[in-house]
Amino acid sequence: MTLTLWNDPKRFLRRRCVLFVCFLTFPYTVIGCPTSNDMKRYSFIYLLPGILIFAGCSEPEVPKRQYQEFIVDAPPPAEHATDDPHHHAHMTDIPLPAETPPPAQSAEFEWDTPEEWREEAGAGMRLATLLIDADTEQAECTLIVLGGDTGGLQANIERWMEQAGIDPPYGDAMRAYVDGLEQFETAGGDTGLLVDFDPFVDDASATSTLVGIIERGEETLFVRLTGSKGLLASERERFISLCKSIR
């Protein structure tokens, strides 16, 4: 007759005492909490192989890799031969992880960060990121400077609308919207345009965008605030004061 736990438990356990001990101690060593003196003695047996193995280990050497890197930058476009050849788009426009953005242009823009807005360092064309922490939501305001032709006002508005999930108006409706954009004067004497998507968004929790466009010479500063319609409505005045403080 085959020896099993049921027909002769004492003999079965005597023959399998080592396995039995490991079975008993395993949950306790996993949880790390021996609860009795007996368990502590058996835990030592179970941990001994592990202790011996780890005692023989030393900190591994840090492996290094060596390789050659080929460096050929993209040539500048013919009509802008003096520009930095590594211009990239807005970081938010790039759908997949891209190479790091190019060095910042020689923009000298200053501004007054509104109260309760938190400023973070920028990188490349992004001069700064301002964060608004409301109770249950957050909005982000980016300051990005671009040189030369920035793609066209209407094209940029349509792209921002698509990014916010808004169907852009077409034809006369879009022209009327662009012609009716509010203008403002900055502290630096520049004229800016205010783009507000609030009329196109119905739900207070839906995403909306406020953009201030300030042109100075050959550079254009885009101040773009993205967040829910409700939050943007409450921060609209601070946003406008930020844009007007540009100098």
Partner 1 sequence: MYWLNKIIGFFLSLKLTVVCLILLSILTVFGTLYQVEYGLYMAQQRFFDSWIILFFGFLPFPGTQLVLSFLFVNLLANMVIRFQYGWRQSGIIMIHMGLMLLLAGGWVTRQFGQESFLSLLEGEASNLASSYHKWEVAAWRESDGNWRDVVAIDADYAEPGRVLPFEEFGLKLSVDEYHRHARAFKATDPEVAARVLNSSGITFLEASRPHWEPAENMPGGIFTVHTPDGGARRLLLFSGDPEPTTFEHNGDEITFSLRRKRYPLPMTVSLINFEKTFHPNTDIPRSFASLIEVDLQGVTRDVLIEMNRPFRYHGYTFYQASYADLDHGLHMSTFAIVLNYGRIIPYIATGLTFIGLAVHFLIELFRRRRDLA
Q: What is the binding site for partner 1 (CB under 8 A)? A: 30-31, 62-75, 77, 79-80, 83, 85-89, 93-104, 120-121, 123-124, 146-151
* Closest CB 195 distance from partner 1, rounded Å: 19
CB of 237 to partner 1, least distance (A): 26
b/e map of 20-34 (b: 16 or more CB within 10 Å)?
ebeeebeebbeeeeb
The nearer residue to partner 1, 147 or 169, going by C-beta atoms, is 147
Q: How far is the CB of 94 from partner 1 (least distance, A)?
A: 5
Least separation in angstroms between residue 91's CB and partner 1 is 9
Q: Which is nearer to partner 1, 216 or 229 (CB)?
A: 216
Burial 228-242 (b: 16+ CB within 10 A, else e): bbbbbbebeebbbeb
User: Which residues contact residue 33 at a Cβ distance below 8 angstroms, ignoring those fewer than 6 apart?
Assistant: none
For residues 57 and 121, which CB has a smaller minimum distance to partner 1 in the complex? 121
Asked if residue 113 lies in contact with residue 119, where contact means CB atoms within 8 angstroms, the answer is yes
Of 9 and 151, which has the nearer Cβ to partner 1?
151
Question: Is 126 or 216 the residue whose CB approaches partner 1 more closely?
Answer: 126
168 vs 230, which CB is nearer to partner 1? 168
Compute the least distance from the CB of residue 92 to partner 1, in Å. Answer: 11
3-state class (DSSP) for residue 84: coil
Helix 37-55 and helix 17-31, axial crossing angle in degrees, nearest 10: 80
C-alpha distances (whole Å) from 105 to each of 8, 20, 74, 229 are 85, 72, 18, 32
- CA nearest to 119, candidates 136, 132, 109: 132
Residue 79, SS3 per DSSP? helix
In angstroms, give the least distance from the CB of 20 to partner 1: 16
